[in-house]
Chains A and B, each alone.
Chain A
Amino acid sequence: MSKVHTRPGHRLPVLLILTIVLMSVVILSLCTGSTIIPIREIIQILVNGKESADHTILVHIRLPRIILGFAVGGSLSLAGALLQGMFRNPLVEPYTLGISGGASLGVALNILFKWYAIIGTIAYPISGFLGALLVMIFVYGLSVKRQSLGLRDVLLIGVMVSFIASSVVMLLMAISKSEDLHGIIFWIMGSLDEPNRALIYIAVGVSLGGLLISHLFCLPLNALSLGEEGARHLGVKVENTRRWLFLLASLLTGLSVSVAGIIGFVGLVVPHFMRMVVGPDHRFLLSGSFLAGASFLILCDTLARTIIAPLELPVGVVTGIIGGSVFVYALTKKSVVL
């Protein structure tokens, strides 16, 4: 009997398919919107039609959103995959660590105290990022200061910080004027509409850099699936790994939240779904999650701006409804181990 000695877990074909899916979604998103632009004409418009209205729509409206969707969707999903692997808990997502809570608190304060009137609209992402950063430092500081603090405690602290932050945001909303209220709510619901080009480029740079760096940790993450002691027995420096992954996930989340507001569910559902499709090997799971997260968010954003065009739905609502339904369906359809 001859045995076939295949390399295990080579999921490269899956990654290839995910890349094709991403490109298809990008093209679809370029075509659809309040006006339909046929695929055949896209390249021609991009090359020749500098002055046409379609050119403006493509280059100044749709493309920036697609790029931002790529960065934010990829970042959130990657951060989710890293955190789920690190905490060995499928219910962890980037927002569980309280980062989004901190960011929304920062933005709420910005709107209430009209910082945006002083330094312009850049105040939104800056205040969001500062809020996220403060929470990161707080949670991380606690876990470093008390060496014995277990992962579960860090998680619980994050959840509590989220609660505290959202309560304070509600308090601010209760005492704020109605026009401010609208601003806060709109930001909390999340949107890929970002007028500042520089921020979009920063987001893309950070997300791709994060993806690259995260691959330095894919073997330690695989080892961690054996538990903390199991990983130590394989020579993994567990504390070190955790520290870097925590910072990386926080950075990815903090930046996403400050640019696009709170877009839930991508970081929870997509990596989880990818675990079913690609498998638990982080060498493939990380890029798989990034690609799928990017596709998912771009698709949801396309739907959000088409369904009731010319009006626009908050993209966070679409990700929640679609992501949640697909996920529940997949779980009931297939007997998967959570």
Chain B
Amino acid sequence: MSRALLDIDKLSCGYGGKTVLEDISLTIEDREIVTIIGPNGSGKTTLLRAVSRIIPPLRGNILLSGVDIHRMTPGRLARQIAVVGQFREPVPMTVREYVLLGRIPYYKRFQFIETDRDIALADRYMGLTGIEDCRDKRLNELSGGQMQLAAIARALVQEPKLLLLDEPTAHLDITHQARILDLIRRLNRELVVTVLMVLHDLNLASEYSHRLALIKDGRLIACGQPDRVLTYNIVEDVYNTVVVVDKNPLSGRPHVFLVTEEQRQDEHRH
């Protein structure tokens, strides 16, 4: 039996006095890809921020390999969890300098210069993510897709057990969406990285995840394999939209089709 890498136990958290997430329990096994889905404002990003210890829990615990994350030093946590966030600062540094920032959790006290291993890791992950040709470009010269790949490379040099990604495919065309998600699958398989990410696109989530966690209004509505979560009554209920769910003929995974207003009216008449 695989053991849980991340154990979120009855977590409630929020900002100020306002509770955003209420009583969330979610276990993520080693080597899993779990995707959090749900309507806008349902608390998906908040869950990632709680796991990366940006916001403290009001109630409940988050255990990483059995240890409460709030009992770890910031450095130790950063060596186990890496985050690819949604917003990027336009920093005028080169891709290589940017990727090497991910080694900061490994610097010893009074160490100023990166070791050969740091350099080798940066080169390796720039190669793996396919951005080695941009290594000397500045971040502000990159396209959105390249920027996202650089951010993933930066997270990977942290050598995390758990990789958190917040909407890694936002604002990207389908070429880059597929490239990023294929990369995440490959990392998951080859580097044994466990992935917890937020995706908006239900069909991408369905294709690329082992399990989905559906959140609405801060509560976990459903959690399980895609065909257990993406049923038309759950999706219609949570998103308040009429949909048809069918199977992707190639992968056999559920695919959600939108039903337009006109089609709905036609159906009614027949």
Residues of A within 8 A of B (CB): 3, 5, 7-9, 88, 215, 218-219, 222-223, 225-227, 229-230, 232-237, 275, 279-281, 283, 336-337
Residues of chain A with a CB closer than 8 A to B91's CB: 225-226, 280
CB within 8 Å for A7 and B119 given contacts A219-B107, A223-B101, A235-B75: yes
Contacts of B83 in A (CB 8 A): 229-230, 233
Q: Which residues of B contact A280 (CB under 8 A)?
A: 91-93, 97
Q: Are A225 and B93 in contact (CB under 8 A)?
A: yes
Q: Chain A contacts of B90 at CB under 8 A?
A: 337
Question: Assuming A88-B89, A230-B89, A337-B90, is B104 touching A7 (CB within 8 A)?
Answer: no
Query: Which of A3, A5, A230, A235 is B105 in contact with, Cβ under 8 Å?
Result: A235
Bound complex: CA A226 to CA B91 (Å): 8
- A8, B75: Cα distance in complex, Å: 23
Distance between Cα atoms of A219 and B75 in the complex (Å)? 13
Q: Which residues of B contact A232 (CB under 8 A)?
A: 52-54, 74
For the complex, what is the distance from the CA of A57 to the CA of B101, rounded to whole Å?
50
| Closest chain A residue, CB of each to CB of B123 | A5
For the complex of A and B, 3 pairs with smallest distance between CB atoms: A235-B78, A235-B75, A235-B74
A288 to chain B minimum Cβ distance, whole angstroms, is 14
**Nearest-CB residue, chain B, relative to A276:** B92
Contact among B85, B97, B107 for A9, CB-based, below 8 A: B97
Contact B112 A283 (CB under 8 A): yes
Query: Interface digits, B171-207 against A, CB 8 Å rule (1 contact, 0 not)?
Result: 0000000000000000000000000000000000000
Which residues from chain B sit less than 8 Å from chain A, CB to CB? 49, 52-54, 73-79, 81-83, 85, 87, 89-94, 96-97, 100-102, 104-105, 107, 112-114, 119-120, 123, 138, 140, 158
A-B contact pairs, 23 of them (CB 8 A): A5-B119, A5-B120, A8-B94, A9-B97, A225-B89, A225-B93, A229-B49, A229-B83, A229-B85, A230-B85, A232-B53, A233-B52, A233-B78, A234-B104, A235-B74, A236-B74, A279-B93, A279-B97, A280-B97, A281-B93, A336-B92, A337-B138, A337-B140
In the bound complex, residues from chain B placing their C-beta under 8 Å from that of A275 are 92
A234 to B151, CA, bound (A): 13
Instruction: Knowing A226-B91, A235-B78 are in contact, say whether A8-B96 is a contact too (CB < 8 A).
Output: yes
Q: B112: which of A218, A226, A233, A237 is its contact (CB, 8 Å)?
A: A218
Shortest CB distance B131–A (Å): 14
Secondary structure at the B interface, as helix, strand, loop or mixed, is mixed
Complex: how many Å from CA A230 to CA B105? 12
Q: Which residues of B contact A227 (CB under 8 A)?
A: 85, 87, 89
B99's closest neighbor in chain A, by CB?
A: A8
Residues of A close to B81: CB separation below 8 A: 233
Q: Do residues A236 and B104 form an inter-chain contact, with CB atoms below 8 A?
A: yes
In the bound complex, how far is the Cα of B92 from the Cα of A219, in angstroms?
A: 17
Cα separation A336 to B107 with both chains bound (whole Å): 31
* Residue numbers in A under 8 Å from B101 (CB-CB): 222-223, 225-226, 234
CA–CA, A269 and B105, complex, Å: 32
Of the candidates B89, B102, B104, B120, the one having the most CB atoms from chain A within 10 angstroms of its own CB is B104
For B87, the chain A residues whose CB sits under 8 A away are 227
Do residues A281 and B74 form an inter-chain contact, with CB atoms below 8 A?
no
Beta-carbon nearest neighbor of A337 in chain B: B92
Smallest beta-carbon distance A153→chain B, Å: 16
B77 interface neighbour in A223, A225, A235, A279, Cβ under 8 Å: A235
Q: Which residue of A lies closest to B82 (CB)?
A: A233
Inside 8 A of A233's CB, which chain B residues have their CB? 52, 78, 81-83, 85
List of B residues within 8 angstroms of A3 by Cβ: 123
Cα-based distance from A275 to B93 in the complex (angstroms): 10
A79 to chain B, nearest CB (A): 21
Contact partner of A234 (CB less than 8 A), chosen from B78, B92, B96, is B78
Q: How far is the CA of A280 from the CA of B138 in the complex (A)?
A: 11
Q: Whose C-beta in chain A lies nearest to the C-beta of B15?
A: A148
Residues of A within 8 A of B102 (CB): 234
Shortest Cβ distance from B184 into chain A, in angstroms?
Answer: 18
A280 to B94, CA, bound (A): 9
Please report the C-alpha to C-alpha distance between residue A3 and residue B135 in the assembled complex, in whole angstroms.
12
Contact, CB under 8 Å: A8 / B97: yes
Complex CA–CA separation, A279 to B113 (angstroms): 16
Contacts of A9 in B (CB 8 A): 94, 97
Q: Give the CA-CA distance A23 to B92 in the complex, in Å.
A: 30
Pick the most buried of B49, B76, B97: most chain A CB atoms within 10 A of its CB. B97
Tell me the bound Cα distance from A69 to B142 in angstroms: 41
Q: How far is the CB of B118 from chain A (nearest CB, A)?
A: 9
Q: In this complex, what residue of A is CB-closest to B49?
A: A229
Q: Which residues of A contact B92 (CB under 8 A)?
A: 275, 280, 336-337
Contacts of A281 in B (CB 8 A): 93, 97
Bound form: Cα–Cα A232–B78 in Å: 8
- Contact call A223/B123, Cβ cutoff below 8 A: no
